[in-house]
Amino acid sequence: MRIMIILSALLMQLCLGATYSWSVYVQHLKTLVGITQTQAQIPFSIFYFVFPLTMIFSGTLIDKFGPRLAAISGGLLFGSGWIVSSFGIHNFTWTILGNGVIAGIGAGIAYIVPISTCIKWFPNNKGLVTGVAVAGFGGGAALVSSVAGYLLQLNFTPFTLFGYLGWAFIILIVFSGFFMQNPPDYSKTDTIQLGFREVLTDRRFIILYFAMFTGLAAGFAINANIKEFYQSATLMTGVTAVSFFAIANAIGRVVWGGIFDRFNSRNVIQLNLLAQALLLFASPFIVTSPIGLQLFAAIAGFNYGGVLVIYAGSVARIWGAEKVGSIYGWLFSA
């Protein structure tokens, strides 16, 4: 059963990570709909706001209804959002509503399920198992960006792809969701009762929150505009950069998770933030060619992958595995 938990978690995250391939569609949306760069980024920006906002409440849903129902309902919403966005060819508002709001809510509900579930099943390897579980999130962006980039060159429109992807996500996430369940020996009566005010005013939570905010902000700025770092980049150069970022992101989650299990949280967080800061400082000297762009994307993705692992593991270390669902949701709002 433990192996099915891991595989199902990977498959779920593979689907949920698809939104992070958004930069592949931007140029086509600008041309097809006649919108600006900023307008084309609105669905992704709203998604990135709604996604963590929903996670604040997803932990409560998991505790109340169980991980299986939370995963399935989140998957239905996420896939439906992509389907709704396919109507954006007639009015771009549908794409904003679908990919931004509906898919964001679905992802916020479903994303935390495999993380909290895997930590409960593997309490002695919190960092590594979290990294493995969410590696699919980065892998999903790589897979979808590569496939979408190829199909876009064959004159498929982004809106056509949104519809196909939406149905695929519903099927795959709902299937995976059936395997999401707590360990047989898990009991809610064993959990520590903590009020939100008690957690939010905890000095440790505040430090984690601002550290995670810094790490996420750096990664988001790069991920949403990778192609723009090198103005001479062609479509395929940009697609390749997105893929490198996503693949390295997936690898980084596993590697940083393994590092986290061997060192204390403070040192790992400091190392991750330092690595991101140094990369951004060095970016003008690295991104001077297509190869430089790929290298920059890979390192950025690797570091960003760590952000999405070490803080979930830190929550489990401080407050216990059973509180990851609720507390990490608040932390992820950073």
Q: Please state, in angstroms and rounded to a whole number, the distance separating the CA atoms of residues 1 and 121.
A: 10
292 lies in some domain: yes
Residue 189 lies in a domain: no
Please provide the DSSP assignment of 164-215 as one string.
HHHHHHHHHHHHHHTT----TT--GGGS----HHHHHT-HHHHHHHHHHHHH
Q: Where residue 209 sits, what CATH number does that domain have?
A: 1.20.1250.20
In a domain, 261, yes or no: yes
Q: What is the pTM of this model?
A: 0.80
Element holding 220 (H helix, E strand): helix 203-223
For 280-313, give one letter per residue: b (16+ CB within 10 A) or e.
Answer: eeebeebbeebeebbebbbbbbbbbbbbbbbbbb
Helices (H), 263-323: 265-286, 290-319
Q: Is residue 188 part of a domain?
A: no
Residue 105 lies in a domain: yes
Domain count, the chain: 1
| Any domain includes 69 | yes
In tens digits, what is the pLDDT along the chain, a chain of 334 residues?
Answer: 778 898 899 899 989 988 878 888 988 898 888 888 889 999 999 998 899 889 888 877 887 888 999 999 999 999 999 999 999 988 999 999 999 999 999 999 999 899 888 888 887 787 888 888 778 876 787 788 888 888 988 889 999 999 999 999 999 999 999 999 988 876 654 445 566 677 778 899 999 999 999 998 888 777 666 766 666 666 677 778 877 887 888 899 899 999 999 999 999 999 999 999 999 888 888 888 888 888 998 999 999 989 988 998 898 888 877 777 778 878 877 6
In a domain, 231, yes or no: yes
Residue 310 covered by a domain: yes
Q: Is residue 144 a contact partner of residue 18, using CB atoms and an 8 Å limit? A: yes
Q: Which domain holds residue 249?
A: 2-183+194-332
